[in-house]
Amino acid sequence: MSEDPDSPAILIALLPEDGTTLPERLQPMLLGIEEEQIPYRFVPATADSPQTLVGRAYDAAVGSRLSVGVAYDHNQVVVHYKNLEPTEPLFEQPITTVEATRIIGANAARLVKGVPFKLQGQVS
């Protein structure tokens, strides 16, 4: 995980109730990002944070020097890219399995790298 606030990193928008840490059920997403060797950083929610999941992901993408932002709620993860329309994220993935959650993290990192995305069943 990137510690320098100015360093290039995927930004992950946290929910207000999560404070400064990601829920345990989303830890596989971080492993997916790490296995692609791309840094990430958490962005705590603020009073001006967008209320929608897609809006939070888009704001994270715009704030990221790598142009990729991630947001989540209790049911899904959204990956956004700053060059897309604000209301049209790249991925919206339900939080269902460890594998699916890990793949969404890997695909966020692969967006940065410009390599093909992983499909379900391609965790290795």
DSSP string, 16-28: GGGTTS--GGGHH
Cα separation values, 16 from 20, 38, 45, 73, Å: 9, 25, 5, 10
Q: What is the pLDDT of residue 49?
A: 82
Q: Which domains does the chain have, with CATH numbers?
A: 10-113 (3.40.50.10150)
Place of tokens 């209320």: 51
Over range 87-114, report the average pLDDT: 96
Q: What is the pLDDT of residue 123?
A: 53
DSSP-assigned letter for residue 3: -
Q: How confident is the model at residue 121 (pLDDT cuts 50, 70, 90)?
A: low
Per-residue pLDDT of 16-72, as tens digits, reads 899 888 999 999 999 999 999 999 999 998 888 888 999 999 999 999 999 999 999
Please provide the average confidence, as pLDDT, over all residues in the chain. 92
Query: Could you tell me which residues come within 8 angstroms of residue 99 by beta carbon, excluding any fewer than 6 positions away?
Result: 28, 120, 121, 123
Tokens 């969404």 belong to 104
What pLDDT is attached to residue 45? Answer: 83
In the predicted structure, residue 91 carries a pLDDT above the cut 60: yes
Contact yes or no for 3/40 (Cβ under 8 A): no
The reported pLDDT for the residue numbered 6 is 76
Pair 111, 79: CB distance under 8 Å: yes
Mean pLDDT of the 3-20 span: 88
Bridge partners of residue 114, in order along the sequence:
none
**Rounded mean pLDDT of 11-20?**
92
- Percentage of the chain exceeding pLDDT 70: 94
